Amino acid sequence: MPKTSKLKKKVTKVKNKSIKKPKTKLVSKTKEINKGPLKISKNYLPKDTEKYMCEKHKVFFRLKLQEWKKELVKANNEALYNGSMDDNSISADIVDQASSYTDKNVEMKAINRQIKLISEIDKALMRIKDDTYGYCLDTAEPIGLKRLMARPVAKYTIAAQEKHEKNEKVYADE
């Protein structure tokens, strides 16, 4: 029994010791006042003289991508709605049926391409959010404003894109 009493004494001694915590002040690293989203004019175009991928550039490309996505979704919805209305598959003429089938097949391929493009737009919007938009996914070099203006969903610099396309061609030939 004496052993347990010694253990109890040690435990109570440890419990009674007070642990001093260092005093810390919470200091905010950013003292910026949240002004809300940056607004740009409708005729604004990014310039090479501005810092690459500054807030204005990000807002410009985000708006451009969102507008493009909206147009694609609208076009897809209209194509699907109008495509379902025009149905010659019940026609008695076999040539009309074949023509209708071919037209629908071409239309569905176009819609599928646009759906893939919408997915690429969503990925580009996510890259804007995480501050990687405008930089090559392979080399981390700036893609360039001219390339992004021409192809806002670009993920690679021209050199890296050419390398990817050569690799795709090599694997397609095998």
Alpha-carbon span 138 to 117, nearest angstrom: 21
- Over residues 56-83, the pLDDT tens digits come to 999 999 999 999 999 999 999 888 877 6
Q: Mean pLDDT: which of 9-23, 92-106, 153-167 is highest?
A: 153-167
Q: What is the pLDDT of residue 23?
A: 44
Q: Which residue has the higher pLDDT, 46 or 169?
A: 46
Q: What is the pLDDT of residue 85?
A: 60
Helices (H), 86-130: 94-129
What confidence tier does 37 reach under pLDDT thresholds 50, 70, 90?
Answer: low
> What's the mean pLDDT in 7-21?
46
Q: What is the pLDDT of residue 54?
A: 92
Helices (H), the chain: 2-16, 55-85, 94-129, 145-150, 158-173
Q: What does the domain layout of the chain look like in residue ranges?
A: 48-133
Alpha-carbon span 143 to 154, nearest angstrom: 8
- Evaluate if residue 5 carries a pLDDT over 60: no
> Does the domain made of 48-133 have the CATH classification 3.40.30.10?
no
CB-based burial label for 144 (10 Å; 0-12, 13-18, 19+): middle
Angle formed by the axes of helices 55-85 and 94-129, nearest 10°:
160
Q: Average the pLDDT over each of 10-24, 39-53, 70-84, 127-141 and give the range with the smallest value.
A: 10-24
